[in-house]
Amino acid sequence: MFKGLHPIRYGKREVWPLIEGGKGIAASDHMSAGAWAAANGIGTISAVNADSYDENGQIIPQIYHAKTRPERHKELVQYAINGAVDQVKRAYDIASGKGAININVLWEMGGSQTILKEVLEQTKGLVTGITCGAGMPYKLSEIAAHYQVYYLPIVSSGRAFHALWKRAYSKVPEFLAAVVYEDPWLAGGHNGLSNAEDPLLPQHPYERVLNLRKVMRAAGIPDSTPIVMAGGVWHLEEWNDWIDNPELGAIAFQFGTRPLVTQESPVSLAWKKRLMQLDEGDVLLHRFSPTGFYSSAVKNTFLRNLEGRSERQIAFSVKETGDHTCLLDAGVNSRASFWVTDSDLQRARQWVADGFTTALRTPDGTLVFVTTEEMRIIRKDQADCMGCLSQCNFSSWSESSEKGTTGRIADPRSFCIQKTLQDIAHSDEIENNLMFSGHSGYRFKTDPFYANNFIPTVQQLIDRILTGK
């Protein structure tokens, strides 16, 4: 065992301070979470549209039959509840009384509170805690207290935690098990990068975690309440100065990317092999997600297409003004009046000549140029929206609006996140779908543990982590 790393008390058991990161749709399931708990860690079930099974143990496809978005949203919520309950029960059985099972919820997912409450209602005694991020989950502590489970909010700064504590968490301090610091420049998936922070100028996690601890101390939270370092964690020996460091207080570690490459991981072998081939810099921090959050994913054809789409973008005015003196005659019909600059007019004509023949409006007063086929797919995906987010930039869906819309133009620079994550989770198509990864994913290629394309079991991975290497 790595020197200085000690088991912690969590729930009714002593467990290793090693948490499986809760990756979204079908990428953290009962097999990986149950095995992680069975190895005496804290396994995490994703409660984001998890898979459920029929009587033969086959995955039930999430097919939507309703004609309206609100009705499809109800179908989605029920799929999410059924799947998460099924996954928790199966993971608990695999754990066989060892470790602990958490569930992970994205606060800004569609129906998050309804789903969370119903899952906890149907899995009483099986779930130890809830990790939750992607938004400001003020009601998380209240829900956790009602169901007598712990909560572990995911934040990216001391400032974010302070807001949550002041408004809500201070009323229910006894169920705060830990605070997860998810580094916005290192972690995979959606990241909590604020508008005040530069995505191109990463800050060192030590100073940010120290600041978080100072905020927690000012709130009267004891140093024995762990801060969970999430993002960029690979070898524990590289974090030696964090362990038993009185300046930081208790520290635990979350692993999100490494558990993807295990035998129990539900993602495809193609996905696992692609991760093991990454080079440094192959993961992109971008803002194409329909959530509006930054997120990190592998640079593949899917992301390169989104980059290209945004690069084929020009600003316009609906009347002649300023340097917008040219009437656009490329990519639009003759009845439309879009005034652009002369240089943008020339660019638009070239894009049309290159096959990007259709200009689509964005909510920011710009036009993006796409192929006819891209336009068809974008329009269909927007029409098929099932409300998987509380509000969606891509489709303009809004869960809280009576009309079910944000009132803004749907953004063609984004994509249907439900569609692509379901597809990559249930197929070998990794090049044309969003493939999340942390920025340390390139280390699979250089770590001798994975030599000769070795894919470990979860137990073998945790045993390796415990050596510090």
Question: In this structure, are 66 and 171 located in the same domain?
Answer: yes
| Overall number of domains in the chain | 2
Instruction: Confirm whether 3 is domain-assigned.
Output: no
Question: In this structure, are 459 and 356 located in the same domain?
Answer: no
Task: Give the mean model confidence (pLDDT) for residues 179-205.
Answer: 89
CA–CA distances in Å: residue 241 to residues 25, 188, 238: 35, 24, 8
Per-residue pLDDT reduced to its tens digit, 169-178: 999 999 999 9
Instruction: Confirm whether 346 is domain-assigned.
Output: yes
Per-residue pLDDT reduced to its tens digit, 31-50: 999 999 999 999 999 998 89
CA–CA distances in Å: residue 377 to residues 290, 329, 410: 16, 24, 14
Percentage of the chain exceeding pLDDT 70: 100
Instruction: Confirm whether 161 is domain-assigned.
Output: yes
What does the pLDDT read at residue 20?
97
Q: Residue 457 CB: number of other CB atoms within 10 A?
A: 13
Question: In this structure, are 336 and 408 located in the same domain?
Answer: yes
Backbone φ/ψ region at 97: left (φ over 0), alpha (ψ -120 to 50), beta: left
Question: In this structure, are 23 and 119 located in the same domain?
Answer: yes
Residue 435: closest CA among 447, 446, 418, 420: 420
Q: Which residue has the higher pLDDT, 280 or 5?
A: 280
Could you tell me which residues are beta bridge partners of residue 181?
155, 229
Question: In this structure, are 452 and 333 located in the same domain?
Answer: no
DSSP state of 106: E
* Sequence-ordered list of residues with C-beta below 8 angstroms from that of 275, at least 6 positions apart, any chain: 257, 260, 261, 298, 437, 441, 444
**What does R_g of the chain's alpha carbons equal in angstroms?**
23
For 216-230, 359-373, 394-408, 427-441, which range has the lowest pLDDT when averaged over its residues? 394-408
Do 230 and 241 meet the contact criterion of CB atoms below 8 Å apart? no
Residue 171: closest CA among 146, 199, 203, 206: 146
Instruction: Confirm whether 430 is domain-assigned.
Output: no
DSSP codes joined into one string, 193-213: --TTS-TTS---HHHHHHHHH
Task: Give the mean model confidence (pLDDT) for residues 336-362.
Answer: 96
Question: In this structure, are 408 and 452 located in the same domain?
Answer: no
Question: In this structure, are 313 and 226 located in the same domain?
Answer: no
Instruction: Confirm whether 282 is domain-assigned.
Output: no
What does the pLDDT read at residue 123?
97
Q: Over 80: is that where the pLDDT of 334 sits?
A: no
The dihedrals phi and psi of 222, each to the nearest 5 degrees, come to -65, 155
Do 185 and 203 meet the contact criterion of CB atoms below 8 Å apart? yes
Residue 139: closest CA among 110, 117, 122: 117
Q: Over 90: is that where the pLDDT of 268 sits?
A: yes
Task: Give the mean model confidence (pLDDT) for residues 317-336.
Answer: 91
d(CA 287, CA 73): 25
Residue 168: closest CA among 129, 147, 192, 140: 140
Structural domain boundaries enclosing 57: 8-266+442-466
Q: How confident is the model at residue 2 (pLDDT cuts 50, 70, 90)?
A: low
Task: Give the mean model confidence (pLDDT) for residues 159-166.
Answer: 95
Q: Which residue has the higher pLDDT, 4 or 253?
A: 253
* Sequence-ordered list of residues with C-beta below 8 angstroms from that of 67, at least 6 positions apart, any chain: none
Question: In this structure, are 235 and 261 located in the same domain?
Answer: yes
Question: In this structure, are 117 and 205 located in the same domain?
Answer: yes
The enclosing domain of 178 has a CATH number of 3.20.20.70
Question: In this structure, are 402 and 452 located in the same domain?
Answer: no
What does the pLDDT read at residue 200?
86
Per-residue pLDDT reduced to its tens digit, 279-318: 999 999 999 999 988 999 999 999 999 999 999 999 999 9
Question: In this structure, are 329 and 356 located in the same domain?
Answer: yes
- Hey, what are 310's tokens? 């945004």
The residue assigned the tokens 């191109």 is 200
Question: In this structure, are 357 and 412 located in the same domain?
Answer: yes
d(CA 179, CA 356): 47
Do 235 and 446 meet the contact criterion of CB atoms below 8 Å apart? no
DSSP codes joined into one string, 263-326: SS--S-HHHHHHHTT--TT-EEEE---TTSSEEEEE-SHHHHHHHHHHHSEEE-BSS-BTTB-E
pTM: 0.93
Q: Over 90: is that where the pLDDT of 147 sits?
A: yes
Give the CA count within 13 Å in the CB-facing half-sphere of 8: 24
What does the pLDDT read at residue 112?
93
Average pLDDT, the chain: 94
What does the pLDDT read at residue 325?
95
Do 453 and 261 meet the contact criterion of CB atoms below 8 Å apart? no
Task: Give the mean model confidence (pLDDT) for residues 60-67.
Answer: 93
The dihedrals phi and psi of 51, each to the nearest 5 degrees, come to -75, 140
Could you tell me which residues are beta bridge partners of residue 153?
132
CA–CA distances in Å: residue 247 to residues 206, 218, 228: 10, 14, 15
Instruction: Confirm whether 61 is domain-assigned.
Output: yes
Residue 438: closest CA among 93, 217, 216, 191: 191
Q: Over 70: is that where the pLDDT of 1 sits?
A: no
Give the CA count within 13 Å in the CB-facing half-sphere of 38: 19
Per-residue pLDDT reduced to its tens digit, 97-137: 999 999 999 998 999 999 999 999 999 999 999 999 887 88
